[in-house]
Structure 1
Amino acid sequence: MPKLAVFPKAFMNALCNDGTMRVAEWIELAVKLDVQGLEWYAGFLEMKDKKNWSVFRQMVEDHGKEIPMMCCSPDFTHPDLAFRQKEIEKQKNWIDMTYALGGTYCRVLSGQRRPELTLDEGVKYAAESINACLPYAEERNITLIIENHYKDDFWEFPEFAQKMDVFCKLLDSLHHPHFGVNYDPSNTFLAGEDPLELLYRVSDRVVTMHASDRYLKEGTIEDLRNEELGAVGYAKRLSHGEIGQGLNDYDAIFTELKRVGFDNWISIEDGVDGMDQLERSVAFLNKKIAEHWPAQ
């Protein structure tokens, strides 16, 4: 049966920018939820001090939870080789961070969709960079997970591999036992595409999942697809919402994941409207997991 983790989506600015929330405060909130883990973020301000890594791991484990996944954002599509090499070194540091926290999965991305970049160049740069990190990850028994991502908060351009065809082309060039997909259905809407179509194309390589939901504040899905998504900022007519109340069909998603034998971590990126919302999302997913993966 898949296990649930939570991510502090509502508190990223407080934890990463202005320091108005301490990591220990987030842990105390998260461990009260009916989940088994906390997904971590490499950019928490307090993670700059390596001495904190073991302290936070102990805090989480003292509550009977674990830190299975690390969220980080390497930028592997820069045309300058020296820049990419620095990003590889950053990724190796995040792999070390994941290992120190007791985690198993560390995110990778392709990088920014720079206007001067051709499709073949972007795929080549990203694949070479990820391949350069994989032996390091394997030594520490860490699996690198690539997400169908939209855009890191600190990037100028959207994700190079945001569109389904580009994502799949990059995926086809990467094969390693310590590499897989972190599937995020909501991000597919931001590409103006169908989350289930992407899932059916990559389901046999999905090892982890981000769970969230989006709803339309105005208009239709067709309107959304006709917009120029991937420009600066998120689509204005799309908003984060409570899981189970939005556009994602979790019965269809879980049916496909069950079909391919998925039995791993699902991390909830939700709760932007408060912990009550996050609690309801946790309850919804626990109910759906029990329906699709009934206890033997």
Structure 2
Amino acid sequence: MPKLAAFPKAFMQELCKEGTMKVSEWIELAVKLDISGLEWYAGFLEMEDESNWPKFRKEVESHGKTIPMLCCSPDFTHPEAAFREKEIEKQKRWIQMTHILGGSYCRVLSGQRRPELSIDEGVSLAASCIEACLPLAAEKGITLILENHYKDDFWEYPEFAQQMDVFCALVNKIDHPNFGVNYDPSNTFLAGEDPLELLYRVSDRVVTMHASDRYLISGTIEDLKNEEGGSVGYAKRLSHGEIGKGLNDYDAIFTELKRVGFDGWISIEDGVDGMEQLARSVSFLRKKIKKYWPDFQ
């Protein structure tokens, strides 16, 4: 049975760069939502102090919620082996962080799409780094989740595996019970591709999901494909919006996830226009999930 969580999409600069918002303030806002969990981000400034990890878990759980998944951004496609080894060590620390927070899912990425990198080389580098982290993940009972990502907020280049064919090649290269996909339909638009086509290709590997929505500021999807298809820089024709009012077809998405027996966490990346918007997105998703999973509470 799917469960709902929320991610502080609107407050990343405040929590991760400026320090003008405390994690406890985000917790107090999020626990008022009709959700079961809070997705965490490894880059919260206060997460640098490891003594805070169990404190935040206790704080969240005191409200009857959990921290099911950790969002982090390893860069596994760097040409230097020493750099990649440091990224593997970072990922292992994030696996430990997930475990201490009480979570079961820890995000991995491929890395940055550096201009000199070939597709085969990038897939090979990313796969070998992810595989180096899997023994610890298995030991801690954590599933590593590869997201079809666009670009980390603090990266120079977009995601190496942004394009569907590259993402699927990487997913297919890793066969391990502690590895799966975190599906984000909106990110597919940023690659100038169809989110349903991607879902149909990887649905049997999807274990978690980011729920978000995008809408066109101007023009058409064809304009987006012609102008933005995977280019450096955020797609200027697209903007984050309230879930259910954008381009994503959640009936088609949930029909496919239901078909393959999906029962993981759905974490909401929304609220860029305020907590009321996030609450409306929660309400929309609860109604949709109830339609496809009638026992959903």
- The alpha carbon displacement at 1:203 in A equals 0.1
- The alpha carbon displacement at 1:153 in A equals 1.1
Alignment deviations for residues 183-228 of structure 1 (CA, whole Å, 9 cap, x no partner): 0000000000000000000000000000000000100011011113
| Separation (CA, whole Å) in 1 of partners of 2:273 and 2:229 | 24
Q: Please name the residue that 1:274 is paired with.
A: 274
User: How many percent of aligned residue pairs carry the same amino acid?
Assistant: 78
| Separation (CA, whole Å) in 2 of partners of 1:50 and 1:295 | 38
Q: Write out aligned runs for 1:117-136 (5 A).
A: 117-136=117-136
Could you say what secondary structure the match of 1:4 adopts?
strand
| Separation (CA, whole Å) in 2 of partners of 1:8 and 1:207 | 21
Alignment deviations for residues 259-288 of structure 1 (CA, whole Å, 9 cap, x no partner): 000011000000000000000000000000
Letter in 1 for 2:263: D
Gaps in structure 1 of 5+ consecutive residues? none
Q: Write out aligned runs for 1:132-143 (5 A).
A: 132-143=132-143
Letter in 2 for 1:132: A
**After TM superposition, what 4+ stretches of structure 1 lie above 3 angstroms from structure 2?**
none
| Separation (CA, whole Å) in 2 of partners of 1:123 and 1:130 | 11
| Separation (CA, whole Å) in 1 of partners of 2:172 and 2:237 | 33
Q: Please name the residue that 1:146 is paired with.
A: 146
| Separation (CA, whole Å) in 1 of partners of 2:145 and 2:207 | 8
Alignment deviations for residues 74-129 of structure 1 (CA, whole Å, 9 cap, x no partner): 00001111110000000000000000000000000000011100111001100000
- The alpha carbon displacement at 1:231 in A equals 2.9
Q: Please name the residue that 1:176 is paired with.
A: 176
Alignment deviations for residues 221-260 of structure 1 (CA, whole Å, 9 cap, x no partner): 1101111333332111100000000000000000000000
Letter in 1 for 2:87: E
Letter in 2 for 1:281: S
1:196 matched to 2:203? The reply is no
Alignment deviations for residues 121-170 of structure 1 (CA, whole Å, 9 cap, x no partner): 00110000000000010000000000000001111111000000000011
TM-score by length of 2: 0.99
Alignment deviations for residues 56-86 of structure 1 (CA, whole Å, 9 cap, x no partner): 0000000000000000000000111111000
| Separation (CA, whole Å) in 2 of partners of 1:93 and 1:295 | 37
Could you say what secondary structure the match of 2:228 adopts?
coil
Q: Please name the residue that 1:242 is paired with.
A: 242
Letter in 2 for 1:173: K
8 Å CA contact 2:186–2:248 kept in 1: the answer is yes
Q: Please name the residue that 2:94 is paired with.
A: 94
TM-score by length of 1: 0.99
Q: Pairwise CA RMSD of aligned residues?
A: 0.8
| Separation (CA, whole Å) in 1 of partners of 2:84 and 2:230 | 23
Q: Please name the residue that 2:58 is paired with.
A: 58
- Matched residues, number: 296
| Separation (CA, whole Å) in 1 of partners of 2:225 and 2:47 | 38
| Separation (CA, whole Å) in 2 of partners of 1:274 and 1:153 | 19
